[in-house]
C-alpha cells in the first residue's frame, strides 16, 4: 500500500468522465478498492457536452420534421418559443438521466465518490478541496489515474463575457429562437452545432480557417457534407479566420480575416479544447507535459512519474469518448495489475453527429495513396437504396476503400442518416481481415440501409475488373 497517510485505496481516479468512470469500474469489477474525485457534474464532458449536443440534434429533427417535411408535405408547426422550451426540457431530461447512470454505475461497483478539486501530493496522494468549505481530505493509493477531461479553448481577444458569445459547452443553453448564427470552427462540434441550429430555423454561417470541413474525413465525404450544408442554405466560409467580435449599437458583429463583417444574434466558438490540468499540481509532482499542456504517457498510459497514469482528453487526440473509455480501462489494468485489457483498439471508428451523420473507420483514399497502396473504391448512393427512399433520407453515400491485390477492406466512409451505426459492420469485417467478398456473398435484409455495403462492394469489384482490362 501507499506509504503516505490518508484514506487508502488501490486506485484513485481524478474525473468521472468517459475515461475516469470506465477506469474506475474496470478496477472495481476485479475487486480493487477505488475512489473517484469529481469537481463538477458526474459524467464530465460526455454528459455536459456530447450527450447534450446529440440530444439537441434528435430533438431538433423530431420537433421540426427537418428532413421529412419535404417528403410528406406536413410537419409539426410549433411556435418558435414552444420549440425552444420543448428542446431544452428534453435536453435537461436526458442529461440528468445520463448523469444518474454514471452515479448508478459507480454505486453498483462500490466506488467511493468524492466531490471536490484534487491536487497531487507526495507518495501517491491526492488532496481534495471541496467547494463548500469542508475540511480537506487526503486520499492515498498504490496508483492514481488522471482523467480530468477538457474544456473549450477560448481564443484571446474574444469577449466570452458577452451572453451571446458562446463556446461549445454554453451553446446548448438556447434561451430564445434564433434568426441568425455564426459558428466558428470546422471540426466535429462546430459542424454539429451548425447543422442543428440550421434545422431549428436559423440562418447559419460556418466560418472555418481550414481549407475543408472535418479534415480527418475522406475528402469526398467532407466535400459532400459541405455541399449538403450549402444546398440547405448555410454559408460555409473556408480558409477564413475570425479577426474579432464586437458590439455596435447593440448588434453583435463578427469580423472575418477577409474583412467581411457578419451581423448575427449569437456566435459559437467551437475550435479546440484544452485540458483541465491547471489545478492538479502537475509541475510540483514532476508529471511531464508537452508544449500544449497535454500529459505525456507511454504505451501503458503511465506518466513520467511511476504509478501515476493519465487517459482521455488530457493526453491529446483523438479525444473521443469511445476511445477515452478504452484508454481508461487499459490504464486501470496496468495501474493495478489486472491481466485483462492490454491495448486500445487500433481500428477506431469516428462518428460525427451532423445532419446528416458522417462516420469513418480505417484508411481514407488519400491515406492509402500516400502509403503507396494500390487500391480501388466502391460507392453506393443512398438515393438508390430502398430503405433510405422509404425513410426519405436519400442524402448520402457509403464508400469502401479496398486493397487491389487481395480485395481486403482498408476503410469505410459513410455520410447519411444512421452512418454512426452502419460504420460498425465495416469495422467488424476489417477486424477479421475480411475482403469485399464478405459483402458480396452475405445476405442482407431488404429493405435495409445495410444493403448498401453489398452494392458498394459490387461497384468496387466492377471498377477493379474494368481497370484490369485497360
Cell of 313: 482528453
Blockwise average pLDDT, block size 10, the chain, 470 residues:
68 95 97 94 71 76 67 57 76 84 93 95 93 88 95 90 91 81 95 92 95 96 96 96 91 95 95 87 94 91 98 92 96 97 94 96 97 97 92 92 96 96 97 96 95 97 77
Got the DSSP string for 356-413? S-EEEEE--HHHHHHTT--EEEEEEEGGG-HHHHHHT----EEEEEEETTT-BEEEEE
- Other CB atoms within 10 A of residue 223 CB: 14
- Other CB atoms within 10 A of residue 407 CB: 18
Alpha carbon distances (Å) from 33 to 23, 174, 219:
12, 41, 48
Contact 419/351 with Cβ under 8 angstroms? yes
Q: At what angle do helices 80-108 and 18-29 cross, to 10 degrees?
A: 30
Contact 461/440 with Cβ under 8 angstroms? yes
Q: For residue 368, what are the β-bridge partners?
A: none
pLDDT score at 70: 59
| Of 326, 275, 320, the residue nearest 301 (C-alpha) | 326
Q: CATH classification of 165-270, choosing from 3.30.200.20, 3.40.190.10, 3.10.20.30, 3.50.50.60?
A: 3.50.50.60
Contact 188/194 with Cβ under 8 angstroms? no
Got the DSSP string for 186-210? -SHHHHHHHHHHHHTT-EEEEE-SS
Measured CA to CA, the distance from residue 452 to residue 383 in angstroms comes to 10
Q: Are strands 180-184 and 235-237 parallel, antiparallel or unpaired?
A: unpaired
Domain positions in the chain: 7-151+274-336, 165-270, 356-469
* CATH code linked to domain 356-469: 3.30.390.30
Which one-letter DSSP state was computed for residue 111? -
Q: At what angle do helices 188-199 and 52-64 cross, to 10 degrees?
A: 30
Alpha carbon distances (Å) from 149 to 39, 145, 167, 241, 336:
11, 12, 16, 27, 21
Look at the block and give the residue holding cell 422550451: 85
* CATH code linked to domain 7-151+274-336: 3.50.50.60
pLDDT score at 1: 39
Edge-to-edge strand ranges of the sheet holding 165-167: 165-167, 266-269, 180-184, 203-207, 235-237
Query: Chain-centre distance of CA 39, in angstroms?
Result: 22
Residues contacting 28, CB < 8 A, separation 6+: 34, 109, 110, 111
Look at the block and give the residue holding cell 454505475: 105
Alpha carbon distances (Å) from 93 to 43, 46, 61, 80, 89:
15, 15, 17, 20, 6
pLDDT score at 116: 93
pLDDT score at 2: 40
| 356-469 has the same fold as 165-270 | no
Alpha carbon distances (Å) from 168 to 52, 192, 200, 351:
11, 10, 17, 17
Q: Give pTM, 2 decimals.
A: 0.90
Amino acid at each position: 500500500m501507499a506509504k503516505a497517510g490518508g484514506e487508502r485505496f488501490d486506485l484513485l481516479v481524478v474525473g468521472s468522465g468517459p475515461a475516469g468512470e470506465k477506469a474506475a469500474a474496470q478496477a472495481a469489477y476485479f475487486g480493487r478498492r477505488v475512489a473517484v474525485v469529481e469537481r463538477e457534474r458526474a459524467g464530465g464532458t460526455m454528459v455536459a457536452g456530447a450527450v447534450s449536443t446529440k440530444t439537441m440534434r434528435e430533438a431538433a429533427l423530431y420537433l421540426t420534421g427537418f428532413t421529412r417535411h419535404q417528403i410528406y408535405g406536413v410537419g409539426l408547426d410549433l411556435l418558435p418559443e414552444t420549440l425552444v422550451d420543448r428542446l431544452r426540457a428534453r435536453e435537461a431530461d436526458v442529461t440528468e438521466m445520463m448523469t444518474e447512470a454514471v452515479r448508478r454505475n459507480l454505486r453498483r461497483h462500490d466506488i467511493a465518490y468524492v466531490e471536490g478539486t484534487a491536487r497531487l501530493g507526495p507518495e501517491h496522494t491526492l488532496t481534495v478541496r471541496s467547494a463548500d468549505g469542508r475540511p480537506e481530505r487526503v486520499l492515498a493509493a498504490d496508483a492514481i489515474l488522471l482523467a480530468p477531461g477538457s474544456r473549450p479553448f477560448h481564443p484571446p481577444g474574444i469577449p466570452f463575457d458577452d451572453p451571446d458569445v458562446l463556446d461549445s459547452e454554453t451553446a446548448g443553453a438556447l434561451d430564445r429562437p434564433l434568426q441568425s448564427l455564426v459558428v466558428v470552427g470546422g471540426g466535429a462540434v462546430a459542424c454539429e452545432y451548425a447543422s442543428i441550429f440550421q434545422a431549428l430555423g436559423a440562418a447559419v454561417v460556418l466560418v472555418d480557417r481550414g481549407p475543408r470541413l472535418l479534415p480527418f474525413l475522406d475528402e469526398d465525404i467532407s466535400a459532400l457534407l459541405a455541399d449538403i450544408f450549402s444546398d440547405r442554405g448555410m454559408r460555409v466560409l473556408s480558409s477564413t479566420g475570425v479577426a474579432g467580435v464586437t458590439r455596435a449599437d447593440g448588434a453583435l458583429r463578427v469580423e472575418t480575416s477577409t474583412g467581411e463583417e457578419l451581423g448575427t444574434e449569437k456566435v459559437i466558438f467551437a475550435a479546440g479544447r484544452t485540458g483541465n490540468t491547471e489545478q492538479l499540481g502537475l509541475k510540483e509532482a514532476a508529471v511531464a507535459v508537452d508544449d500544449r499542456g497535454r500529459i505525456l504517457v507511454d504505451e501503458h498510459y503511465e506518466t513520467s512519474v511511476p504509478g501515476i497514469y493519465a487517459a482521455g482528453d488530457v493526453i491529446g487526440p483523438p479525444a473521443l469518448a469511445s476511445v477515452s473509455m478504452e484508454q481508461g480501462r487499459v490504464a486501470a489494468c496496468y495501474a493495478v495489475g489486472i491481466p485483462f485489457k492490454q491495448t486500445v483498439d487500433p481500428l477506431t471508428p469516428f462518428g460525427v453527429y451532423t445532419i446528416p451523420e458522417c462516420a469513418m473507420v480505417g484508411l481514407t483514399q488519400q491515406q492509402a495513396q500516400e502509403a503507396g497502396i494500390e487500391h480501388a473504391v466502391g460507392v453506393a448512393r443512398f438515393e438508390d437504396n430502398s430503405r433510405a427512399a422509404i425513410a426519405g433520407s436519400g442524402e448520402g453515400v457509403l464508400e469502401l476503400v479496398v486493397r487491389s491485390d487481395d480485395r481486403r477492406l482498408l476503410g469505410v466512409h459513410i455520410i447519411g442518416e444512421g452512418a454512426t451505426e452502419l460504420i460498425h459492420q465495416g469495422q467488424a469485417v476489417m477486424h477479421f481481415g475480411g475482403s469485399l467478398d464478405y459483402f458480396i456473398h452475405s445476405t442482407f435484409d431488404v429493405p435495409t440501409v445495410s444493403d448498401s455495403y453489398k452494392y458498394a462492394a459490387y461497384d468496387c469489384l466492377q471498377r477493379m475488373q474494368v481497370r484490369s482490362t485497360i
